[in-house]
Amino acid sequence: MRGYRRNRIDLRKGMVYHTSMTDQKTSSDKKGLSVKERLYARYKAKGFSNGKSAELAGYKAGTSADKQGYRLSKKADIQDEVSRILAQQETRSLIDRETHLDELAKLRDKAVDTGQIGSAVTAEHYRGKVANLYTEKLEVSNTNKESSDEIMLRISKLLGNDEEPKDKSLH
């Protein structure tokens, strides 16, 4: 995937330059990363491999994307950008959790005001789940009261062996 081309005019020299937008470095980017490099960092932060990240960022597919992805992964500026993106994503998830808890509290309050106590209890219960106040237990009850010898005897009868197993050390 190639970026579109645009004309860049330098009025002082009276010249017109043709530049590819994906290869151009932006003035707002303090680290000097190109658009493709920033895209690579974004895909890498999402968990894609080096080669797939490079390919999605616009580098030539195939072996050259793998090589380019490896080269890009070694650049300190790109590693910093990936770390920054991951930290930003972590911060967003914390904000979303707080917002979620606040919204559930508002819904609970509305339910109490309208007399819908069941809905209020449910909303409060989910707030507790989001805050990890509850742990869910899964209990498996043993309904089979047979001993291991009885189970082995039943299995051998099902298999057509009417005699008891000779080696009792297996169970």
pLDDT digits (tens, 9 = 90+) for 7-57: 455 445 444 444 444 444 444 444 588 999 999 999 999 889 998 999 988
Q: Name the band, by pLDDT with cuts 50, 70 and 90, for residue 76.
A: very high
Provide the mean pLDDT of the chain.
76
The CA–CA distances, whole Å, from 50 to 34, 74, 101, 134 equal 17, 10, 37, 39
Give the pair of three-digit tokens for residue 60. Answer: 């030539």
User: Of residues 112 and 145, which shows the higher confidence score?
Assistant: 112
Among 16-25, 72-81, 127-136, the minimum mean pLDDT is found in: 16-25
pLDDT confidence of 165, banded at 50, 70, 90?
Answer: low
Burial code of 15-39, b = ≥16 C-beta within 10 A, e = fewer? eeeeeeebeeeeeeeeeebbbbbbb
Percent of the residues in the chain that have a pLDDT greater than 70, as a whole number: 71
pLDDT at 81 over 90: yes
**Rounded to whole angstroms, how far apart are CA atoms 73 and 41?**
9
Q: Is the pLDDT reported for residue 143 higher than 90?
A: no
Please list, residue by residue across 119-153, b when 16 or more beta carbons sit within 10 angstroms of its beta carbon and e when fewer do: ebeebbebbeeeeeeeeeeeeeeeeeeeeeeeebb
Decide which of 94 and 136 is more confident: 136
